[in-house]
Structure 1
């Protein structure tokens, strides 16, 4: 790559030395660089390709990092990272010990706010702008870049609503490409489409009505326009709004044509753009597909079943329900709070509602789970995809807190299946009718067995399952991490010493089984893929204290720290819950 413009760029100051007519060449080289790395190392592709021109223009016009730039979510920040001192180690992106796939304050002064969940940029940048006002720094600019899917979230509207009654020096840039991970939905999408098509009179502009200085829509791939508008807005005080139109995946034909697949396509041929095929016909299904296909099967039998997802129909496999029963499967957009309360409202009318949300995103609707569902004891079925350690997406996406944050909520059942068959059977059992809401947590990735579509079996509520009988040590596990436990025990020279119990039900605990276990063993070990503080192991310790048992209890799981990015196996090893670590622990007993 010798002689290329990108070779001369380490930081934004280097970009500002270029002539405007050189920027298209830099954009082409930056796209090529992103494609070269992501095709081999994987990651989020389409979003970053779509904002290459915007990224360069922002750093060209504004005095970053003195001017503060916030990227919403951060899927689109690869170009930003490459141009802000991380080009030479970008190939470590999302790998253990490497740079994060999302903006991260501890990584660079150019990452002014850590992001990974959507719709936070406007509030964060507004907070920075107000702080600058208070400090008397009126020259500093504060820029929030947000997508058309993220801006539909309630928090983004809250930020706009507040910003419009301030004189804060805030610029909101709407990157409008009509898609988040899946295509954008909702009335706001239709409004923005009308604006883009010129069918909405400027005097009825909703952004102007919120007291923003509105500009747009403009071509987000045209440097002449971008530089002109950004320079003008840089020197305009108060809340400003720039509406740009971009194409997700710009510059890679396949990524432009199949924007869902190329959001994060895995490994692909950088020359042809074709995703490298993985021979998976003989592999067990992904847990998300077990959920999605089972839901369709159940919905064929039960007309009261409704599916809800906040903007993740592909990622959660709710897409199967949407294809089979479009009137009974709803994508509400990036609106977890609304999704939960919508489900609660439907449940009051006797509908059987499967509300499918990634574990890490249910955190965003915590009050609704408590106030709108559990307090009213409505039997909503929460299906928590991506529970546990999720790998390369890192600290913002690990679903390791759900047991702890749900365990304290009255009326709520918590279940973690051991494998795909148990996930299938708990979905069947839940739709038969429960007296309480239930949260079913299952991991990212593939399940255990190829032959999984077996006849449904009803699961007895609140019962633990003995998997192996031993003499001295009882290992209690919950969820799919129990498969690591089973392998470790089977390979141990001391296998006869160990009993193994699967506690699918974290709440309610099977206290009858626990009494028998505590009375017949010398030591207890708990294993979970969630945080040990407040998690399953904590519940076992509480049970022991309440019942005056004095056995030694060792809790294994995610330690009291934010776990960074790496492969799931690497992170399980870090947490001492992979097969080898468990084997070492069991051998020392």
Structure 2
């Protein structure tokens, strides 16, 4: 284990007030120390490294120039906020990052006064910042509000909705566009830095406003012409025409790794008190200053533990393929058989496994950027023309496109296939990324077929089932991580719609599992059998349409029926209970016990500990069965603790 390098300046900084005591000449050294500390921490905890390294100098400059936390600093998404956390009193807890009881991997209001707005989904910062700026104005206060948003996040419509709104208001707002993909910026250098300092300076702004006041005396045609001439003249040399048209005063581009360029511009913006929004365009590089991350930005966007010297990631050997890889291979298999199969992702090709599909079928793969709403309606358009679109979107992100799922897909009965990754609890990413609600929000939609894979082999069959459904939309969900290690089919076989399967026969207790808790249900059956209680285990496979024949059989042949799912209240169990109540099957002493996620947000932790807290592991299933069978609570509790 290597000894970490000394950090004499960083050791003096407990909060931004300490940072402001340093001279500007000391900041480059502090940036190097902060970069090293960020790499060291993430090498132990894993997390979002590349984005954090890309904003080291920008983070220092913002906290150095602005009076945080009085000035509100809002980070979009928050996966680049590790340096921000280190500088704002949380350095001593950074090794708890993304751990149970530790720091969140994102900004979080309850964690620090320096996190004025929580974020883990993208493109929210400008909307939140505008709300804060308006609230400041209504209260007669005079602090700054700064939103930092990446160029990737600017591909989402919400950012432009916010900018369009802000551009027509007089609230003073600073938006820092962190362009780390070179997708927007022209080359930057000394001339660009000079122009940015000039344009952001008080004299230039004052002259501009004097001229603006003067042109108000012109006839309307001349006034509009003068304004446009000034905007386009600046746009030719700085490249800000788009933002100017949205009503923002554009400054940039500025080298985001050069403090000599950043600090003067930020000071000018801090001093400015003219109304209206300003956009500062800063160009950075993901992974800057750490060669392994610079060479492989995608790989180091989110990393596990790694060796600081070599950059080699420490990956435990998998015992079974991941559900994501199984989905990708199954979809490729379907695409080989049917040229109508297409795949859509919203900026997550590797996370959803579709990068593999893209290599095989380049012209049938579509990454639409961080735009889930567009992804769903785009898929609907493909389906309307007879193609077979698979929209692979994490459960937590599909929530952002719910209106499109309802209006553009379900209402029109268009056969869009939703591949819902990260169903259930997801470990280190915590509550913001948990797939806790999709059974509920999809199950209430007419025409929608809702499936959940109990194991990785069943996922292969569900991909084939989805490909075969051509008269309505469908969704199949599957968890993060490895499968159960079951035998895998060579090709998927379409399942009978709305039919589950019996995996084990018994007579004392029936467990009806839907989704990724099937392995825990199997363990619970073994434990109950060891205690002398024979148990039936059924895998529902479908929440909608429900296998009513299977539910009736389980309810009439067993005194206890337990439903099991990794979804919030109102999901699979609600469909089962509705059927049982409607058919009068609850009137004859059946003890129904629904097990689902509790009505709380569960913070980051190891998945097994999260599921312990949720009460969805084998020991809690056994305890629930024993209590329902009439064992006293003390005995059932002992079973749960065993």
1:5-47 per-position Cα deviation (integer Å, ceiling 9, x unaligned) = 1111111100000001111111111111111111111111111
Relative to 1, partners in 2 of residues 1:481 and 1:277: Cα closer, same or farther, differing over 3 Å? closer
Q: Is it true that 1:250 corresponds to 2:273 in the alignment?
A: no
From 332, 342, 350, the equivalent of 1:314 is 350
> 1:285–1:450: 8 Å Cα contact kept in structure 2?
no
2:488 alignment counterpart: 452
Q: Is it true that 1:556 corresponds to 2:592 in the alignment?
A: no
C-alpha deviation, 1:263, in angstroms: 0.9
> 2:455–2:518: 8 Å Cα contact kept in structure 1?
no
From 103, 113, 119, the equivalent of 1:109 is 113
**2 CA distance for matches of 1:247 and 1:383?**
32
Q: Is it true that 1:466 corresponds to 2:502 in the alignment?
A: yes
Gaps of 5+ in 2: 193-234, 630-642
Q: Is it true that 1:576 corresponds to 2:615 in the alignment?
A: yes
1:40-63 per-position Cα deviation (integer Å, ceiling 9, x unaligned) = 111111111110111111111001
TM-score, structure 1 length as denominator? 0.95
Q: Is it true that 1:99 corresponds to 2:137 in the alignment?
A: no
Pairs within 5 Å for 1:43-62: 43-62=47-66
Gaps of 5+ in 1: 180-188
SS for the counterpart of 1:564 is: coil
**1 CA distance for matches of 2:7 and 2:468?**
67
> 2:457–2:487: 8 Å Cα contact kept in structure 1?
no
C-alpha deviation, 1:516, in angstroms: 1.5
C-alpha deviation, 1:434, in angstroms: 3.1
1:250-306 per-position Cα deviation (integer Å, ceiling 9, x unaligned) = 1210101101111112111012222235434xx311111111121112111100011
RMSD: 1.7
> 2:175–2:280: 8 Å Cα contact kept in structure 1?
yes
Relative to 1, partners in 2 of residues 1:350 and 1:158: Cα closer, same or farther, differing over 3 Å? same
From 156, 170, 173, the equivalent of 1:167 is 170
C-alpha deviation, 1:458, in angstroms: 2.1
**2 CA distance for matches of 1:459 and 1:63?**
61
Q: Which moved more, 1:26-35 or 1:114-123?
A: 26-35
> 1:489–1:586: 8 Å Cα contact kept in structure 2?
no
C-alpha deviation, 1:456, in angstroms: 2.6
C-alpha deviation, 1:204, in angstroms: 6.5
Q: Which moved more, 1:284-293 or 1:493-502?
A: 493-502
Q: Is it true that 1:422 corresponds to 2:458 in the alignment?
A: yes
Relative to 1, partners in 2 of residues 1:553 and 1:450: Cα closer, same or farther, differing over 3 Å? closer
C-alpha deviation, 1:174, in angstroms: 0.6
Pairs within 5 Å for 1:303-342: 303-342=339-378
**1 CA distance for matches of 2:283 and 2:486?**
44
**2 CA distance for matches of 1:331 and 1:495?**
53
**2 CA distance for matches of 1:569 and 1:274?**
27
C-alpha deviation, 1:494, in angstroms: 3.4
**2 CA distance for matches of 1:200 and 1:552?**
73
Q: Which moved more, 1:365-374 or 1:571-580?
A: 571-580
Q: Which moved more, 1:518-527 or 1:11-20?
A: 518-527
1:56-95 per-position Cα deviation (integer Å, ceiling 9, x unaligned) = 1111100111101110000000111111111111111111
**1 CA distance for matches of 2:486 and 2:263?**
55
Q: Is it true that 1:507 corresponds to 2:507 in the alignment?
A: no
SS for the counterpart of 2:103 is: coil
SS for the counterpart of 2:425 is: coil
SS for the counterpart of 1:83 is: helix
SS for the counterpart of 2:482 is: coil
> 1:194–1:200: 8 Å Cα contact kept in structure 2?
no
C-alpha deviation, 1:342, in angstroms: 0.3
SS for the counterpart of 1:555 is: strand
SS for the counterpart of 1:476 is: strand
C-alpha deviation, 1:495, in angstroms: 5.8
**2 CA distance for matches of 1:210 and 1:337?**
22
> 2:240–2:250: 8 Å Cα contact kept in structure 1?
no
From 278, 303, 327, the equivalent of 1:265 is 303
Q: Is it true that 1:147 corresponds to 2:150 in the alignment?
A: yes
From 249, 252, 266, the equivalent of 1:230 is 266
SS for the counterpart of 1:513 is: helix
1:565 alignment counterpart: 604
1:461-492 per-position Cα deviation (integer Å, ceiling 9, x unaligned) = 10011111111211111012111101121133
Pairs within 5 Å for 1:400-549: 400-449=436-485, 451-492=487-528, 493-494=530-531, 496-531=533-568, 533-549=569-585
C-alpha deviation, 1:380, in angstroms: 0.4
TM-score, structure 2 length as denominator? 0.87
Larger radius of gyration, structure 1 or 2?
A: 2
C-alpha deviation, 1:406, in angstroms: 1.1
> 1:140–1:169: 8 Å Cα contact kept in structure 2?
no
Q: Is it true that 1:210 corresponds to 2:246 in the alignment?
A: yes
C-alpha deviation, 1:515, in angstroms: 1.4
**2 CA distance for matches of 1:107 and 1:543?**
43
**Which structure 1 residue ranges, 4+ long, deviate > 3 Å from structure 2?**
193-204, 277-280, 583-589
Q: Is it true that 1:81 corresponds to 2:113 in the alignment?
A: no
> 2:562–2:625: 8 Å Cα contact kept in structure 1?
no
Q: Which moved more, 1:489-498 or 1:501-510?
A: 489-498
> 2:123–2:158: 8 Å Cα contact kept in structure 1?
yes
1:186 alignment counterpart: none
Alignment length (residue pairs): 574
**2 CA distance for matches of 1:447 and 1:52?**
38
SS for the counterpart of 2:427 is: coil
**1 CA distance for matches of 2:424 and 2:7?**
46
2:396 alignment counterpart: 360
